[in-house]
Amino acid sequence: MFLSYYFFARQEETPLISIVMAVTTILVVLFIIVVDKKRDIIDESGRESIRKSDHICLKLFYLGTAPILISIMFWNDAILTGYIVVSEFVLFTAIRIILFWIYDSRGVE
């Protein structure tokens, strides 16, 4: 994700950047296809764990995004803002995985 944002944020266009972007895009699409075909049927407790972790992460995401969006008004560095937003997505994805793991191992109460 950081690599593709880095290439989108660059000003100059070179053949190497185009090739790396194309290869990255193809790898991401193939990864999505493979993961989609290997999905297991989720049981009811797993579904409830996902709902609970999504609920918590959505509230945390709102609380984390508001200061970033307000601070964007005061600085004009679009590249830094992009990196912060992408970092936030990665952070909350990791938090969601950890919360799901905790809820799934304990069972939802």
Contacts of residue 45, defined as CB under 8 A and 6 or more positions apart, other chains included, come to 104, 107, 108
Residue 93, pLDDT > 60, answer yes
* Helices H / strands E in the chain, number of each: 4, 0
Question: Which residue ranges make up each domain of the chain?
Answer: 1-39, 41-109
Structure tokens at 67: 């200061």
The pLDDT value given to residue 86: 84
Tell me the mean pLDDT in the region 83-99: 88
The pLDDT value given to residue 68: 81
Contacts of residue 1, defined as CB under 8 A and 6 or more positions apart, other chains included, come to 86, 89, 90
Closest CA relative to residue 105, chosen from 49, 52, 51, 56? 49
Tens of pLDDT, residues 14-42: 777 778 777 888 888 888 888 776 666 56
pTM score:
0.58
